[in-house]
A and B are shown apart, each in its own frame.
Chain A
């Protein structure tokens, strides 16, 4: 049983169907990049995977004991967050709320999890700093550490390198690769940076203009979808 399987899923945004008959599976340890132009339904698909928005038809099912709550999610930054008075520690800890049982306060376990994840991403030294005073890369790492507190097997990243300078962006990709390789964390990343997607991912899902494509990276390089995009199709 795959970690996630999507069967003939259709997605609608404000009443318009934007993605039709999508079939794909994600297995444990995969690194899937979802690529496509702006407005092609990448974000809508991600919301569907997270259970924030049901697909208009079809079925998304989880296997291997994966629960919606235990997906680590790295959203794009919102305007609200840019001047939010919160310490790194507070934000990372809030990822532990996903762990289920209602309790008004954080347990010792939660605090340890948060600490471990901050250490892993190299932000333990700025734990008491204010979020709004951090660099873009540090902010992203804070949000990723929060996602890891919630995640057991899977993280979903929404354009994690957007707005970062090249160095910070490269660091971000390094971290995600490390999580995928060393911690066997399954990764689903939404991106419009095809180049990086191709160098990092094991699988590619191309949505938006038909033909939709899903397969391994190697298959994608030989596919019509890629040729169309890179312009190589027309050259032949």
Chain B
């Protein structure tokens, strides 16, 4: 079979098509949020939240609750707390995030070990941390959830784009001229939490923040306006997740790690291009 025939053959399966739809939409949302998160120096919040989500999944497994109903509220709650800490100058935000994320990792692993229902603990842990083939076992309902979520995020992003820019660039000015910066920050944190929980299925807890920061960072190497950075990171996200999933299917590599590897490759190319552009 030629490579195209192989691809066509894989695409005849529903689960492959589902994986592509979900993968692309989730990466797109993550990248859009990423532009603001990176510029606001919130990159670490994404990372911290994903670790918290890992801990929450472990607790959900122990309590035997469907992960999404427990993980989502907990992650949103922590997102809001982290944001408040960032505003409070007395507690250093980065230390708080570091504390929270390793704490959640340790407790999550501890719980998984003590209350294990499965003989293959390291397999379970590895799956939660680095993603699994679960993206290839998505149900129709999972895909619909993804589509609705993505539609909401993208629509909100377009409607509030100008205000989001204003708040990202200069919170004080935005507040002074009647934009409710606090509300936008809150919305940003909540949506980030939601995207992280959903994207964990795709690339796993440890790798999700790569989907958030890499496209934005790559775009910023080359582009000079907010709009071009936003559009470019969206395009990068889509291209990387498409090629990542494709390569992982063809070469039988882990989905999440392959997508992130594609993101890293793009970052390298853009970093070099940025150097040349300046020179």
**Inter-chain contacts of B174 with A (CB < 8 A):** 94, 97
CB atoms of A85 and B226 under 8 A apart: yes
Query: A69 contacts the other chain (Cβ, under 8 Å)?
Result: yes
CB atoms of B40 and A80 under 8 A apart: yes
| A228 CB to nearest chain B CB (Å) | 32
- Beyond the given A51-B176, A85-B228, A94-B162, could you list 12 further A-B residue pairs with CB under 8 A, ordered by the A residue number? A52-B172, A69-B177, A75-B173, A80-B40, A80-B41, A85-B224, A90-B225, A90-B226, A97-B162, A97-B163, A129-B224, A146-B173
| B124 CB to nearest chain A CB (Å) | 40
CB atoms of B39 and A90 under 8 A apart: no
Query: A37 contacts the other chain (Cβ, under 8 Å)?
Result: no
CB atoms of B226 and A104 under 8 A apart: no
| A71 CB to nearest chain B CB (Å) | 7
Q: CA of A106 to CA of B163 in the docked complex: distance in angstroms?
A: 11
The 10 closest A-B pairs by CB, nearest first: A98-B177, A130-B224, A69-B178, A87-B225, A94-B166, A50-B176, A73-B176, A86-B226, A104-B159, A150-B177
**Inter-chain contacts of A85 with B (CB < 8 A):** 39, 220, 223-226, 228-229
Query: B170 contacts the other chain (Cβ, under 8 Å)?
Result: yes
Q: CA of A128 to CA of B166 in the docked complex: distance in angstroms?
A: 17
Chain B residue with Cβ nearest A96? B162
Chain A residue with Cβ nearest B179? A97
| A158 CB to nearest chain B CB (Å) | 9
Chain B residue with Cβ nearest A90? B226
Please classify how large the interface on chain A is, using the bins under 10, 10 to 19, 20 to 34, 35 or more.
Answer: 20 to 34
User: Can you list 27 contacts pairing A with B, beta carbon distance less than 8 Å?
Assistant: A50-B176, A52-B176, A69-B177, A75-B170, A75-B173, A80-B40, A80-B169, A81-B169, A84-B39, A85-B223, A85-B225, A86-B169, A86-B225, A90-B165, A90-B225, A93-B162, A94-B166, A97-B178, A97-B179, A98-B177, A100-B178, A104-B159, A104-B160, A104-B162, A105-B162, A130-B224, A130-B225
Indicate with 1 or 0, residue by residue over A112-152, a CB within 8 angstroms of chain B CB atoms.
00000000000000001110010000000001001100100
Query: B161 contacts the other chain (Cβ, under 8 Å)?
Result: yes
CB atoms of B169 and A91 under 8 A apart: yes
CB atoms of B175 and A52 under 8 A apart: yes
CB atoms of A97 and B166 under 8 A apart: yes
CB atoms of A68 and B178 under 8 A apart: yes
Q: CA of A130 to CA of B274 in the docked complex: distance in angstroms?
A: 14
Q: A75-B170, A80-B41 are in contact. Are A87 and B224 (CB under 8 A)?
A: yes
Query: B66 contacts the other chain (Cβ, under 8 Å)?
Result: no
Q: CA of A171 to CA of B101 in the docked complex: distance in angstroms?
A: 49
Query: B227 contacts the other chain (Cβ, under 8 Å)?
Result: yes
Chain B residue with Cβ nearest A150? B177
Query: B95 contacts the other chain (Cβ, under 8 Å)?
Result: no
- With most chain A CB atoms within 10 A of its CB, the pick from B158, B160, B169 is B169
Query: A55 contacts the other chain (Cβ, under 8 Å)?
Result: no
| B22 CB to nearest chain A CB (Å) | 27
| A117 CB to nearest chain B CB (Å) | 14
Query: From residue 21 to 67 of chain B, which have CB atoms closer than 8 A to chain A?
Result: 39-41
Q: CA of A120 to CA of B225 in the docked complex: distance in angstroms?
A: 22
| A199 CB to nearest chain B CB (Å) | 28
Indicate with 1 or 0, residue by residue over A87-111, a CB within 8 angstroms of chain B CB atoms.
1001101110110100011100000
**Inter-chain contacts of A93 with B (CB < 8 A):** 162
CB atoms of B224 and A133 under 8 A apart: yes
Q: CA of A87 to CA of B226 in the docked complex: distance in angstroms?
A: 7
Chain B residue with Cβ nearest A75? B172
| B133 CB to nearest chain A CB (Å) | 37
| B146 CB to nearest chain A CB (Å) | 24
Query: From residue 44 to 98 of chain A, which have CB atoms closer than 8 A to chain B?
Result: 50-52, 68-69, 71, 73, 75, 78, 80-81, 84-87, 90-91, 93-95, 97-98
Query: From residue 223 to 253 of chain B, which have CB atoms closer than 8 A to chain A?
Result: 223-229
Chain A residue with Cβ nearest B221? A85
Q: CA of A97 to CA of B161 in the docked complex: distance in angstroms?
A: 11
**Inter-chain contacts of B39 with A (CB < 8 A):** 80, 84-85
**Inter-chain contacts of B170 with A (CB < 8 A):** 75, 78, 81, 94
Chain B residue with Cβ nearest A69? B178
**Inter-chain contacts of A143 with B (CB < 8 A):** 173
| B90 CB to nearest chain A CB (Å) | 9
**Inter-chain contacts of A94 with B (CB < 8 A):** 162, 165-166, 169-170, 173-174
**Inter-chain contacts of A150 with B (CB < 8 A):** 177
Q: CA of A78 to CA of B41 in the docked complex: distance in angstroms?
A: 12
CB atoms of B226 and A98 under 8 A apart: no
Q: CA of A78 to CA of B181 in the docked complex: distance in angstroms?
A: 16
**Inter-chain contacts of B165 with A (CB < 8 A):** 86, 90, 94
Q: CA of A226 to CA of B172 in the docked complex: distance in angstroms?
A: 32
Q: A78-B170, A91-B169, A105-B162 are in contact. Are A97 and B177 (CB under 8 A)?
A: yes
